[in-house]
Amino acid sequence: MPASLPAEPAQRTVYSYGVRVGHALHISGMVAFDADGSIVGEGDIETQTEQVFANLRSVVEGAGGTMADIACTTTYLADVASAPVVNAARARHFTGPVKPTHTVVGVAALARPQFLVEISAVAYLS
């Protein structure tokens, strides 16, 4: 459980932010929570996306990896018109020569109405 992520949502809804099975690290859908459990960037897709990537980084680094170890992502968007914002953030956060796969899903709603984006991932660690 990374210190930069709130424990309460995971405890309340019975999940882990990341689970390592062998070399694979399965990362739950990250949303725009800060360490206190407050939602960052309400109404601001760019701010929320940056927080989501910071949370992904916390989980993968907490397991001993880096963003370069992420092999695939699934992005859930409340509004698929926001995809270019997410793509720009991906370009800032995935800088290695091989980029992770990327699936984008438009959804009617996420877990809370304030969430605009959620990203899950799988990383492969040594």
Q: So what's the pLDDT on residue 6?
A: 79
Domain coordinates of the chain in residue numbers?
7-124
CA-CA distance, 86 to 23, in Å (whole number)? 27
Q: What pLDDT score was predicted for residue 11?
A: 85
Determine how many CB atoms are found less than 10 A away from the CB of residue 10: 15
The residue with greater pLDDT, 12 or 108, is: 108
Phi/psi zone of residue 81: left (φ > 0), alpha (ψ -120 to 50 degrees), beta?
alpha
Q: Which two tokens stand for residue 74?
A: 């699934």
The whole-number pLDDT of residue 31 equals: 97
Confidence of residue 12 (pLDDT cuts 50, 70, 90): confident
Concatenating the DSSP letter of every residue in 5-71 gives S-HHHHHHTT--SEEEETTEEEEEEE-SB-TTSPBSSTT-HHHHHHHHHHHHHHHHHHTT--GGGEE
Render pLDDT for 62-121 as a digit per residue (tens, 0 to 9).
999 999 999 999 999 999 999 999 999 999 999 999 999 999 999 999 999 999 999 999
> What is the predicted pLDDT for the residue at 10?
84
**CATH number of the 7-124 domain:** 3.30.1330.40
Chain segment 33-63, per-residue pLDDT in tens? 999 999 999 999 999 999 999 999 999 999 9
Q: Which residue has the tokens 């990327």?
A: 102
Side-by-side strand order, sheet with 18-21: 18-21, 24-30, 117-124, 70-77, 101-106
Res. 14: pLDDT tops 90: no
Distance, in Å, from the CA atom of 108 to the CA atom of 118, rounded to the nearest integer, reads 13
